[in-house]
Amino acid sequence: MANKLNIRAENVEPGDLVITSEDKRYTVESFWMHDDIVTLFGTDGSENDYDYCDMLNVERE
């Protein structure tokens, strides 16, 4: 069963399921951090930028 977490963007890990404010869901395949921006790459081909300190809703196994 997945744990529902509210974590900072900089702490997201590959395999996490991110739930956006628009209720879109994507699984993180990889990420990149440059300066204060975290780019999350989804398994669906999506690419989303967040400030490192943004709080994200995540489900983690």
CATH classification of the domain holding 46: 2.30.30
- Comparing CA positions, the residue from 11, 59, 7 lying closest to residue 33 is 11
pLDDT at 1: 76
pLDDT at 30: 98
Write out the chain's pLDDT in tens, 61 residues. 789 999 999 999 999 999 998 999 999 999 999 999 999 999 999 999 999 999 999 999 9
Q: Which residues pair with 34 in a beta bridge?
A: 37
Q: What is the pTM of this model?
A: 0.91
The number of folded domains in the chain is 1
pLDDT at 54: 98
Q: What is the dihedral of CA 14, 46, 24, 1, to 10 degrees?
A: -20
Q: Give me the domain span that covers residue 48.
A: 3-60
